[in-house]
Structure 1
Amino acid sequence: MKYAPASPEERQKFKSTIVPMLREAVKVELSTIPLYLYSIYSIIKDDGKAGTQARRNMSIVVHQEMLHLALAGNLLTSIESGPQLYSAQFVPTYGGEDDVILHSNIPLRLEPCEKSNLECFLKIEAPYQPPPKLTYDEESANIDFRLHAAPDTERALEQYNSIGEFYTELEDMIKNSGPFITFKNKDLQFAPTEFFPTNMTQVTDQESAHNALKVIIDQGEGSVGVEDAHYQMFLDLYMKRTEWECYAVPYSPTIKTYKDNKLVYALALASNAAYCYLLVTIQKTWQVSDVVLRRALIPNIHSIMVNIMTPLAEFMVEEPFEKGKAAPTFQFYPTEAGEDPSKVDYAAVELQEAIKQRLEEAIDLVHDAKKKEALSVIKFSVDRVPWPIPILTES
């Protein structure tokens, strides 16, 4: 499709709006993953009954959110540089008065999978309800999209009440992006041969950009009654909530919550380091085009989540804490290398070592042989996901 040429000023104005929105999209997807994981971990396993099914259904949502994170990152990478996930300013926080999604009134809270928790998820994933259809005169008043394509970014990001509403606005921008955006960096994006083969899209033009966004919208914020939409999944879980039990885990715990319990404190630190190791792994993938390095990086994503983060969380929810059980905090774990994207390799190596160090501390603190063995297995798994990028020591 041919478009009327846009001036450099118009292109820059459009880009100055869509880039912050895409960064916000990446953060939205990242924000929801700990929310849903925490809820899953809180559900007590019940040998294939309602609790197990609830965990399985919510795991499908997390799986799709990982896809959505990758797609949102591909969109951003195709227009500018890839996302920086490993940053204290970017890693979402939970439980505070200002911890909300998309500057809305929907709180970000780590909670057990009770009805109030599922109600929050329903608000997050609520389908967008479009405004009433405009009359011809009202429609004609919007003379030229270019003149209205770049509202004040801060104001725009404050106006959304659900992810669905936000993505509908972003979809409109993508549909009109032809004259304004030159898509690039295909070799830095997740490809179907690397990650989620049936739904991954590399963004090379306006059509593929829209296809990527449509996957996020259709899976995440589909209309009521769409079987695989997150909203419908959470609605079904909400209706069945009385059928399973939850551990008495804390509400939005932080590292400070556990400071007086040495074992839980060490486990929480190990969990945070693992979470951040996952983030730097995903971030690095948008920075390298070398096929060999990508083949080493991307499998680590699954290994970190399945073989480190999940068993650590499962161990924690069995560990007594105050009058209930412990659970992960999903917080930023600082390193000496810091947050500079050019030093992400050094941060990654530090994070892997930190996981092992904190696990060793926990192993020394437990006296039960089975617990020692369980933690040792996790530590062994950490050794199996080394950072694949060679680090050159400075002379």
Structure 2
Amino acid sequence: MTSLLEYRSNRIVELMEEPAERRDADWLKESLQQAMMLELATLPPYLSAMWSIEPQSGDVFQAIRRIVFDEMSHLGLAGNMLTTIGGVPRLGDVHTVPKYPGQLPGGVRPSLKVFLSGLTKESLELFAKIEEPDDPIAEARSHTSIGAFYTAILEAFQDHPELITGAHQLERRMEHHGAGNSLAPLTSLADVEAAVDVIKEQGEGTSASPENPHAGQSPELAHFYVFRELFHGRKLVKVAENPDRWEFTGDPIAMPGTRPMGTVPEGGWGAPGHPAPDAETQTLLDKVNQKYSQMLDLLERAWKAEDTTTAEGFLDDAVGEMVGLKGPARLLMLREVPGGGGKTYGPEFRYVET
């Protein structure tokens, strides 16, 4: 089983190549585990960029913060889809956690190299490529989207609605972060269809509009278009109708000041060929890795819990660990890397046994 869950594999590509008649319960369970790995892969890069912004306020900070909360919700929805059909999420496992720098899991967009750094034009371009739709309203398509994978998952649910049991579902009220961001039990096909719509449309928009129809505040663009606005430094505006045409020619968007977090090297800051961090820096790195790992372990335990009260307790603890990541991560961004040209350390998001 471990080989199928290996983060650096080609499994999503292989799953997408399976004919529809073979997309059964086992196919769905494996696909949804891979979907959770995909959702988790976006969080460390987005968090690193968001935490590098100085001060932690302003329009750009708030835009990325909204996306982070959306992605947390997507991870929860994918987990509920997995457990409602009897699957068990695997998050606290060195084989399934993201590896940075590296590819997205499962062979998705193999030319894309995901890295951890502060907020830069390069990181914004990366984030947009992660979120890119099949048919962008503005700019040309260059890849098949993650949304296509969710479409295949939804079609398998539609072929096998009898698999939906409503078991081991996590619940959390999060309407203040967006209309579709609350975690609610998925007990019917309609619930699953709504969940997939939220995941796809928050990330990509709809085929007719770049706007996020599940916004916390209106109007709000889907993730891809937010990242492209920030990259171009201009608001996306509608410049023609019938047919609609959108261009990045609106009001200017200034890049905020940032703490100069460098790019985390493969294997972490103390990897061979890189200077070993001093003791205080290593303590901060270890603290972030431990809290990140505990968060994943607690989320996994929440989905495995046999009763709602226990699940809520584990989920609350996981959220607490998540909140606790920010402090040491931001402190790392004040500590210069020896010989790094003024660049600073930042979180590694490596899984360690806890």
- 1:351-378 per-position Cα deviation (integer Å, ceiling 9, x unaligned): 3xxxxxxxxxxxxxxxxxxxxxxxxxxx
Please say which of residues 35-44 and 242-251 is displaced more in the overlay: 242-251
Q: 1:22 is matched with which residue: 29, 32, 39?
A: 32
Which residue matches 2:126?
120
Aligned partner of 2:200 among 217, 236, 253: 217
d(CA) in 2 for partners of 1:120, 1:101? 15
Q: Residue by residue, what CA displacement relative to the aligned partner does 1:128-157 show, whole Å, maximum 9, x if unpaired?
A: 239xxxxxxxxxxxxxxxxxxxxxxxxxxx
TM-score, with normalisation over the residues of structure 2? Answer: 0.74
Structure-2 residue corresponding to 1:266: 283
In the TM superposition, 1:47-86 aligns within 5 A as 48=57, 52-86=58-92
The equivalent residue for 2:174 is 196
Alignment partner, residue 134 of structure 1: none
Q: Given the alignment, which residue of 211, 227, 231 partners 2:224?
A: 231
Structure 2's unaligned 5+ residue stretches are 1-19, 137-142, 212-219, 234-252
Residues 65-87 of structure 1: CA distance to partner in whole angstroms, max 9, x if unpaired?
11100000000011132211000
1:183 aligns with 2:164: yes
Mark the CA change 1:320 to 1:261 in structure 2 (over 3 Å): closer, same or farther: same
Task: State the Cα distance separating 1:13 from its structure 2 match.
Answer: 5.1
Report the equivalent of 1:338. none
SS in 1 for 2:80: helix
2:257 corresponds, among 210, 229, 245, to 245
Aligned with 2:270: secondary structure? helix
Alpha-carbon distance, 1:321 to partner = 2.4
- Among the aligned pairs, what percent are the same residue? 25
Q: Aligned equivalents of 1:221 and 1:87: distance in 2?
A: 29
1:129–1:165 CA contact under 8 A, matched in 2: no
Partner Cα distance (2:91, 2:291) in 1: 14
Alpha-carbon deviations, 1:320-345, whole Å to 9, x = none? Answer: 322321100000112xxxxxxxxxxx
For the aligned residues, what is the CA RMSD? 2.4
Looking at secondary structure, tell me which structure has more helix per residue: 1
How far, CA to CA, are the matches of 1:174 and 1:229 in structure 2?
25
Whole-angstrom distance in 2 between the partners of 1:204 and 1:275:
30
1:378 is matched with none
1:277 and 2:291 are equivalent in the alignment: no
Indicate conservation of the 8 Å contact 1:91/1:332, yes or no.
yes
CA contact (8 A) 1:163 1:221 kept: no
Does the CA-based 8 Å contact 1:95-1:110 persist in structure 2? yes
CA distance in 2, matches of 1:102, 1:235: 25
The equivalent of 1:301 in structure 2 is: 318
Query: Against the structure 1 CA distance between its residues 270 and 300, is the aligned structure 2 distance closer, same or farther, given a 3 Å change threshold?
Result: same
1:319 counterpart = 2:323:
no
After TM superposition, give the deviation of residue 318 of structure 1 in Å: 1.5
Secondary structure, in 3 states, of the residue corresponding to 1:286? helix
Give the Cα separation in 2 of the matches to 1:169 and 1:213: 10
Q: Displacement of 1:11 after TM fit?
A: 8.5
Q: After superposition, what is the alpha-carbon deviation per residue over 1:83-142, rounded to whole angstroms, capped at 9, x for unaligned?
A: 11000000100114xx23541222211122111211111111112239xxxxxxxxxxxx
Matching residue of 1:333: 352
- Do the aligned residues in 2 keep the contact of 1:102 with 1:161 (CA within 8 Å)? no
What CA distance in whole angstroms lies between the structure 1 residues aligned with 2:300 and 2:173? Answer: 14
Separation of aligned partners in 1, 2:352 and 2:337: 22
**CA contact 1:282–1:298 (8 Å) conserved in 2:** yes
Query: Paired residue for 1:206, among 157, 172, 189?
Result: 189
Task: Report the TM-score, using the length of structure 1 for normalisation.
Answer: 0.66
User: Residue 237 of structure 1: CA displacement?
Assistant: 1.6
Q: Which residue of 1 aligns with 2:309?
A: 292
Cα distance in structure 2, aligned partners of 1:291 and 1:79: 17
Shift of 1:202: 1.4
